[in-house]
Amino acid sequence: MPKILVTNDDGVYADSIRVLAAALDGLGDVTVVAPERNWSAAGHPKTLHKPLRMAQIEWSDGRRVHVCSGAPSDCVALAILGAVGGTFDLVISGINDSFNLGCDVLYSGTVAAAMESLVMGVPSMALSTGAVEGYAIEDAEAWQNAAAYARTLAAGLLERPLPPQTLFNVNVPRRPAAEILGHRFTCLGRRIYGDVLVTRDDPWGKPYYWIGGEVPTGIAEEGSDFGAIEGGYVSISPLGIDLTRHELLAELALGGWSAPE
Ligand code: MN
């Protein structure tokens, strides 16, 4: 039976990871290693300056799971390095409670966990679900919808692995299951952040700052992850580690750009 590692960035106490783990039972031997707190938008840390701790707890559904004091990426690294015994065939991170579309993947702890898995040579998938206009469904239904996709896609990945160094970044719109129109394979689209600087004074008159502003939007271009979500589809983006602009590299190598003399 294949061994599946499940983690997330919303923390081990998030309901969504419990639903995800339950959906994968039977497809493989499921091990959960998740962070003890929420690491959303914490990116891809590698904790080297302090020790990492692991503990076991029991979820309300009776499953024994591992809690780790580090980031999602640390959870994956420790597990693959052998902290919980054995090796893994597939790593699944999620279900994140909001989309990871476009540039979000650079901030996302959910995606970072899947990326860490690629770095360590184990295939992976990141799963997120987010609200869309015109629909309001309960959390439980949103987790079930995403978990069902996770199971189908995980079965596919185990049977027909992707090329090395490739993960699936999966986003499921929060629509009723019957109103999800299927899936689309997509590229990362363009996120628009409405960040503004929020400055306040502490009780001693010294300023402190928040990155505030509006909820980010995106451009629903055809073929992009935003386009798929806007159209009512599950978005599946194949992502890799290589951020090189290969088309530009070729041009640069041919002398297409040079520094001023
Ligand atoms: Mn999160």
Domains and CATH numbers, the chain: 3-190+218-253 (3.40.1210.10)
Q: How far is the CA of 92 from the centre of ligand 1 (A)?
A: 14
Residue list, CB under 5 A from ion ligand 1: 9-10, 40, 96
Q: Are 11 and 97 in contact (CB under 8 A)?
A: no
pTM of the model: 0.96
Q: Indicate the range of 80-89, 119-128, 162-171, 248-257 predicted with least confidence.
A: 248-257
Q: How far is the CA of 146 from the centre of ligand 1 (A)?
A: 14
The secondary structure element, H or E, covering residue 35 is strand 29-35
pLDDT at residue 204, as a whole number:
98
Q: Which residues pair with 208 in a beta bridge?
A: 200
3-state DSSP call for residue 141? helix
pLDDT at residue 5, as a whole number:
98
Q: Are 145 and 180 in contact (CB under 8 A)?
A: yes
Q: How far is the CA of 98 from the centre of ligand 1 (A)?
A: 7
pLDDT at residue 258, as a whole number:
87
| Rounded CA separation 113/121 (Å) | 13
Q: What is the DSSP letter of 161?
A: P
Q: How far is the CA of 256 from the centre of ligand 1 (A)?
A: 41
Q: Could you give phi then psi for residue 60, rounded to 5 degrees?
A: -65, -20
Q: How far is the CA of 169 from the centre of ligand 1 (A)?
A: 14
Mean pLDDT throughout 217-235?
Answer: 97
